[in-house]
Structure 1
Amino acid sequence: MRKTTVLISGASIAGPALAYWLQHYGFAVTVVERAPELRPGGQAIDFKGATQRTVLERMGIWDEIQRRQTGKTDMVITDAQGRELAEISGDFTGGDVEILRGDLAAILYERTAADCEYLFGDSVTALRETGTGVEVEFENAPARTFDLVVGCDGIHSRVRALTFGPEADYVKHMGYYYCTAGAAGWGHDPEAPAQRNRSAAYNEPGRLAVRGGNKAAHLYMFAADRLEYDRRDEASQRRVLAQAFAGAGGPVPAMMSELGDLDSFYLDSLGMVRMKGGYSRGRVALVGDSAYGNTMGGFGTGLAVVGAYVLAGELALAGGDHAAAFARYDEMMKRYAKIAGQSNAGRFLAPRTARGMRMRNWFLGSWLFDLMLKYSDNAANDVDLKDYQALVAAA
């Protein structure tokens, strides 16, 4: 019997997670990734709640994530003289377990590489749906036809643009930009036991600068309308950051002098994806940040892993009826993905006024912050997971 062929665009987290489940159910999977190889390091990402843990346990990777987790990082907010004003607990920012994005990607890749085809250093350039499949053109590889295509290629998704329309129609700019640079995990040693870390954060209205405890990692955030720059030109991005923090006080001048020695530089806007009509069209679907991304919103990785589990399970149950599977996936994930649209990390971390900064600092020590934590925990479990493996076996 001929296997259903699926092309997945993106090999960060959502793509390999979806590949894992699809190959498990007997689909023929190809993953295309623009980067020339699996990308190591990256930001620390986290999982929260029983729902996300259940999916990871069913994938058989929960113990490995536990083994390779980073230590949580408490963010201490200081004034220009270094005096502590407030603290954002790592228990809030780091979820139940935190791991470097690159480490999680490696775990997923190791469990899919033998049974799935990976095309590194390539990308999708055109999609044309026919009555029986999707004709796909690549930047480098010869054109091929697949039964289904899934965009797992992030908030700037090429698959979404080709299928649904321009990014500006679906990604809302949240009025902020962020930048990360330096050692991933704030100096975490993957060979050492996970331990508690501390970072120092300095605020001015509309600006945030965070330095890891070992000074080898920086995080910046600043308020700005849409900026024009080349996302592939690091030099121009470094100039954007320097302009945004010109004249800043406290530790910022020293941090700017350190920045030239830090690699892994990444600058992007805070964006929120809003797919009003659902996450699929014809034979193409979206999973992860391409479908329900909210930059630094705190739920992105968990949503991606749950979304991959649901989409693959619904496709397996549908027995070839992708339209029915996509409809059920849309219905289930719309409710769960609402949690990704509830926050703007920029307004919280870099308030635009001095008064806003004072209110945020007060909030962090109040009972209202505890209430928000409780809501966050409840929202992370707000979906009824089917046991797709059992259902498929019984079908």
Structure 2
Amino acid sequence: MTIPRILIAGASIAGPATAFWLARAGFEVTIVEQSPVLRRGGNGVDIRSEALTVIDRMGLSEDVRDRAMVNHGMRFLDRSGRQRVRFPTTEVENMVGSEDIEITRGDLAHLLYAATESDVEYIFGDTVTELTHDDAGVDVTFARTPGRRFDAVIGADGIHSKVRRAAFGPEHDFRVFKQHYYAVASIDSTMGEAFWTTFYNEPGRSVALYRDSAGHGLVTFTFHSRTPLSYDYRDITAQRRLLRDAFADSGWHIPALLDAAEAAGDFYFDALDQVSMPSWSTGRVALVGDAAYCASPASGAGALLALTGAYRLAGELSRSDSPHAAFLRYETAQRPLVAAKHAHLFTYITVPRTRLGIVARNIMLSSPLPRMLGRRSSHSTNNLPDYYSRPIR
């Protein structure tokens, strides 16, 4: 019996997670990653609900907890820098109905890489440029590596997915503008309170600062924009200029934080957009994670959707000799969770558009309402089949 060969584009979260399960099922897996090395740091991602089950089944729970960010909660300041609301992480867990483990995107990617490097071929510093698929397989052209043929190709290469572009069409056909932009950078700062995320708001603008006891941390800028901005997502200089324009004449310590972000080596800027597609597969090509159904960083569901989608996609492929049938079952199972996360963004909490909205947010978070909502919330993992409880392939 010929071992199926699968190519995955993207080595962040969804790609290595899919590779983990495919390798366990006996597939021959190759991951191609555009970056020459795995990136460190990055924004914090939340592992909660069904994602906790996936991490546990991967045997990574202890490693994830060891590298988790210590974040006691959120603090919201007024215009003079005084604290108005203190919202502990325990209350966030009440609202989502689950334990919530926060870890940097880079740390999670490194854990997933370590769990797969001995079973998966990694190609760094390269990217997919062309796909030609027929009923039996996919011929892949790379920017640098000689072309190869695979039984299936999986795009896990994020919101700007090149696999999606090659197989489904231009990015603008699938991105949904949500009227917000954000920037993230690693900085050193003594502002804020250690192990808390400190928010400062102005109408339609927000700065969130997290730091540890040594002053190492992250700053996140978010701002509202009624219309899409025109810029090249690879042009960092233009992005920094857009960010400064958006926060011109801001108060508090924002000018100093902008300076720190501009000097950071890992500055990242993008829209808080969603990806919406009528289908996540075509022929022998499928998408997973942000490439298929990014719910926006404002949803807090990126890691949840990436890990559960990877688990379901690999699991269905392990149960079937037909990629087409497996892709259909994966999509049918994953779509309800994606729809739920697409419907709930939290920009009304993190970046209210008016002074009245800021006051209303503070009142809401100071009231018993979040606790009451939390008691009604629950997340079941019963819809995650245990694909590996019986022999596979």
Fold shared per TM-score above 0.5? yes
Matched with 1:105 is 109
TM-superposition CA deviations, 1:120-158 (whole Å, max 9, x none) = 001111111112111111111111111101110111211
Q: Does 1:76 align with 2:75?
A: yes
Matched with 1:386 is 385
Distance across 1 between alignment mates of 2:222 and 2:99: 21
Distance across 1 between alignment mates of 2:219 and 2:306: 26
Matched with 1:207 is 205
User: SS in structure 2 opposite 1:267?
Assistant: strand
When the two chains are superposed, the root-mean-square deviation of aligned CA atoms in Å is 2.2
Q: Does 1:34 align with 2:38?
A: no
Report the Cα offset of residue 95 of structure 1: 5.0
Identity of aligned residues (%): 39
Distance across 2 between alignment mates of 1:386 and 1:259: 43
Q: Does 1:148 align with 2:152?
A: yes
The answer as to whether partners of 1:336 and 1:382 remain within 8 angstroms in 2 is no
After superposition, the Cα gap between the structure-2 partners of 1:223 and 1:118, relative to the gap in structure 1 and judged at 3 Å, is same
Q: Does 1:332 align with 2:333?
A: yes
Q: Does 1:130 align with 2:134?
A: yes
TM-superposition CA deviations, 1:163-187 (whole Å, max 9, x none) = 2222222110100000111249x99
Aligned residues, how many? 381
User: SS in structure 1 opposite 2:209?
Assistant: strand
Q: Does 1:289 align with 2:290?
A: yes
Distance across 2 between alignment mates of 1:250 and 1:88: 21
TM-superposition CA deviations, 1:94-117 (whole Å, max 9, x none) = 952121211111111112111111
After superposition, the Cα gap between the structure-2 partners of 1:274 and 1:146, relative to the gap in structure 1 and judged at 3 Å, is same
Matched with 1:191 is none
Distance across 1 between alignment mates of 2:168 and 2:262: 39
Greater shift in the superposed pair: 336-345 or 137-146: 336-345
Matched with 1:217 is 218
Q: Does 1:252 align with 2:283?
A: no
Distance across 1 between alignment mates of 2:164 and 2:259: 39
The answer as to whether partners of 1:299 and 1:340 remain within 8 angstroms in 2 is yes
Distance across 2 between alignment mates of 1:372 and 1:172: 28
After superposition, the Cα gap between the structure-2 partners of 1:382 and 1:24, relative to the gap in structure 1 and judged at 3 Å, is closer
After superposition, the Cα gap between the structure-2 partners of 1:8 and 1:374, relative to the gap in structure 1 and judged at 3 Å, is farther
User: SS in structure 2 opposite 1:301?
Assistant: helix
The answer as to whether partners of 1:34 and 1:122 remain within 8 angstroms in 2 is yes
The answer as to whether partners of 1:74 and 1:196 remain within 8 angstroms in 2 is no
Tell me the TM-score normalized by structure 2. 0.91
Which AA in structure 1 matches 2:218?
Answer: A
Unaligned stretches of 5+ in structure 2?
Answer: none
TM-superposition CA deviations, 1:288-323 (whole Å, max 9, x none) = 1111212221111021111111111111111x1111
TM-superposition CA deviations, 1:232-278 (whole Å, max 9, x none) = 22221111111000011122223234334333111110011112x23
User: SS in structure 2 opposite 1:97?
Assistant: strand
User: SS in structure 2 opposite 1:174?
Assistant: coil
The answer as to whether partners of 1:71 and 1:196 remain within 8 angstroms in 2 is no
Distance across 1 between alignment mates of 2:160 and 2:99: 25
Unaligned stretches of 5+ in structure 1?
Answer: 188-194
Tell me the TM-score normalized by structure 1. 0.90
